[in-house]
């Protein structure tokens, strides 16, 4: 497994160097691009959140997984899918419960890893010691509330945003509002459109099976046309493409195809970085 260094600014101050995993697993890539029948097995445990608003100890084994393979039907929808965030992201260090409101019912389990990469999710709101985060599960736009102030999570800040104008087929990377690069990209076709809304970079997977893209960056969103890509979860991703004719066209099955120099920049961004598909 290869590791790539990225810098986060922690909410508590300072700028320690974090690292995100690039998964060098050909089988795992096949799961994303051509499908798979099951998610990676992960340990489960009870969530003992100390809070006066806690209803009861939550048995995480009874909850649906908030992963790209999962469906969290009871999770609340994103209230502002076209909005940005203030750049705060949450690292999930141990599996935690996701609730439908502050101190509300547990509706999902958010594991500490996604595609064997550490789980980082954007925070879209905070209230009374809780954070509302974007989830990588179906349906698209799923969110949930998680408890802050425990050893299971910590906050950091990412200055980056990936903005994809689907209609104009253009991708822009911003750092603190400053443009780092802009590219013409390929997007989903009329029959298989790229989904809209705010999502995030879920993981970074090194391609070892085929040569169409050296790195695949799965997002926390899915095709709304296909329930599966070849048996897999139908995860939408940012990735390269060997033929430049696709850039500026609507011809993919929903993924965003980017030029090589764009991919080199995108792969350096921290996991959990906000991606706006608009």
pLDDT along the chain (278 residues), means of 10: 35 39 45 36 41 68 98 98 98 98 98 96 98 98 98 98 98 98 98 98 86 94 89 92 97 97 98 98
At residue 56, the pLDDT reads 67
At residue 211, the pLDDT reads 82
Q: What is the pTM of this model?
A: 0.84
| DSSP H/E element including 260 | helix 260-266
- 255 an active-site residue? yes
All domains in the chain, ordered by first residue: 7-18+52-157 (no CATH), 160-277 (2.40.440.10)
Distance CA 211, CA 45 (A): 39
At residue 57, the pLDDT reads 87
Distance CA 187, CA 158 (A): 25
User: What is the Cα Rg of the chain in Å?
Assistant: 18
At residue 52, the pLDDT reads 43
Distance CA 32, CA 208 (A): 13
At residue 25, the pLDDT reads 45
C-alpha neighbours within 13 Å on the C-beta side of residue 40? 17
Question: In sequence order, which residues have a C-beta less than 8 Å from that of residue 96 and are 6 or more positions away?
Answer: 47, 60, 109, 110, 146, 147, 152, 153
Catalytic residue among 36, 99, 222, 255: 255
At residue 237, the pLDDT reads 97
Cβ proximity of 96 and 47 under 8 Å: yes
- 239 an active-site residue? yes
* Among candidate residues 145, 31, 138, 125, the one with its CA nearest the CA of residue 83: 125
């Amino acid at each position: 497994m290869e590791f790539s260094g990225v810098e986060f600014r922690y909410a508590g101050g300072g700028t320690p160097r974090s690292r995100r995993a690039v998964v060098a697993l050909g089988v795992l890539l096949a799961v994303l691009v051509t499908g798979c029948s099951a998610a990676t097995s992960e340990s489960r445990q009870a969530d003992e959140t100390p809070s006066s608003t806690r209803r009861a100890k939550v048995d995480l084994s009874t909850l649906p997984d908030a992963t790209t393979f999962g469906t969290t039907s009871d999770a609340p929808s994103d209230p502002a899918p076209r909005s940005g965030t203030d750049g705060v992201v949450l690292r999930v260090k141990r599996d935690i419960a996701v609730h439908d409101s502050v101190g509300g019912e547990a509706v999902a389990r958010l594991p500490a890893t996604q595609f064997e990469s550490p789980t980082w999710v954007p925070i879209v709101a905070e209230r009374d010691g809780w954070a509302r985060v974007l989830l990588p599960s179906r349906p698209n736009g799923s969110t949930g509330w998680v408890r802050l102030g425990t050893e299971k999570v910590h906050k950091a800040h990412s200055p980056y945003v990936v903005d994809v104008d689907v209609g104009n087929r253009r991708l822009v990377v911003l750092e603190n509002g400053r443009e780092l690069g802009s590219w013409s990209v390929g997007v989903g076709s009329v029959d298989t459109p790229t989904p809209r809304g705010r999502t995030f970079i879920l993981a970074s997977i090194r391609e070892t099976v085929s040569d169409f893209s050296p790195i695949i960056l799965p997002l926390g969103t899915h095709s709304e046309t296909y329930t599966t890509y070849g048996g897999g979860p139908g995860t939408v991703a940012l990735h390269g493409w060997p033929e430049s004719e696709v850039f500026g066209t609507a011809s993919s099955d929903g993924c965003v195809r980017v030029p090589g120099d764009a991919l080199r920049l995108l792969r350096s961004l921290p996991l959990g970085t906000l991606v706006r598909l608009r």
